[in-house]
């Protein structure tokens, strides 16, 4: 899978991933103790939706653009508003010209006592991220491969926080790296929260990943909880563009499953391509 995020920024997968990220970080804010966000594959931080890559990909038009115009119920609206407000803060009033990546979404939710560690080795993306976070005392951009950073930076000094693992899946062994990297990091920090993104193209690969992650979580004492969410904007065609993606959430907030059951049905129509999308939310088995 050849993946340059500027082509996909603001697409359905970003919308789902970032809504979940915001819900998890909002829950961490409820306690006064500091937390840290570790973004292992951070990307550029901000994406120009008027640029050549975003225009060629065009995924934001059937993603964030539709969600910004959608009408939500009185139950779902308070849950998606914090995410939508962050996106609006990167744009002129009433316009959609830019989309924030995960490090900037996380940064928007940090309190004065919280910190962000963002890892990125691609020179162009790292340069953009450094420019975006320049002179920010709460955020640090690290020139380190995410798979090396994953076990190296846990547990953080704060002892509370979230690890976002959102790799590019440019290599055939990425699913194996993900399972091994999570297992190693989780053994060092079993009380942290983890949010893992993956593309859904091979059912065998995704089921194996979910089983391995759930197994590592279940082996901890006490056993950690794990949620699996997959969202399909359209049926996945062989050799076609990505239309389905997944998230694994380890040590999620106890409120998250209920919140997602409220939010996700209202995203099926705006994010569906040629018809309504569909989701599944479950507790994976080891």
Q: Which residues are catalytic?
A: 166
Match 């209920």 to its residue by tokens: 258
**How far is the C-alpha of 172 from the C-alpha of 169, rounded, in Å?**
7
Q: For 251, list phi and psi in degrees, rounded to 5.
A: 55, 50
């Amino acid at each position: 899978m050849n993946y340059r995020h500027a082509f996909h920024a603001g697409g359905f997968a970003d919308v789902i991933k970032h809504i979940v990220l915001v819900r998890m970080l909002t829950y961490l804010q409820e306690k006064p103790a500091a937390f840290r966000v570790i973004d292992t594959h951070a990307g550029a931080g901000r994406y120009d939706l008027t640029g050549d890559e975003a225009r060629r990909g065009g995924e934001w038009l059937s993603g964030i653009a539709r969600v910004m115009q959608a009408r939500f119920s009185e139950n779902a609206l308070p849950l998606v508003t914090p995410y939508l407000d962050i996106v609006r803060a990167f744009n002129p009033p009433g316009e959609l010209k830019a989309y924030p990546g995960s490090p900037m979404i996380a940064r928007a939710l940090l309190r004065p006592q919280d910190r962000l560690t963002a890892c990125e080795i691609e020179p162009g993306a790292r340069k953009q991220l450094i420019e975006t976070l320049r002179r920010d005392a709460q955020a640090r951009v690290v020139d380190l491969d995410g798979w090396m950073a994953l076990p190296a930076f846990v547990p953080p000094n704060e002892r509370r926080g979230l690890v976002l693992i959102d790799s590019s899946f440019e290599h055939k062994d990425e699913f194996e790296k993900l399972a091994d990297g999570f297992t190693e990091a989780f053994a060092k920090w079993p009380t942290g929260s983890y949010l893992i993104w993956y593309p859904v193209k091979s059912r065998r690969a995704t089921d194996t990943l979910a089983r391995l992650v759930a197994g590592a979580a279940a082996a901890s004492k006490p056993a950690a909880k794990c949620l699996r969410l997959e969202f399909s904007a359209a049926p996945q065609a062989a050799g076609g563009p990505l239309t389905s993606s997944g998230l694994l959430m380890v040590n999620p907030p106890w409120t998250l499953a209920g919140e997602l059951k409220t939010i996700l049905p209202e995203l099926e129509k705006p994010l569906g391509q040629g018809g309504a999308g569909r989701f599944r939310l479950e507790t994976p088995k080891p």
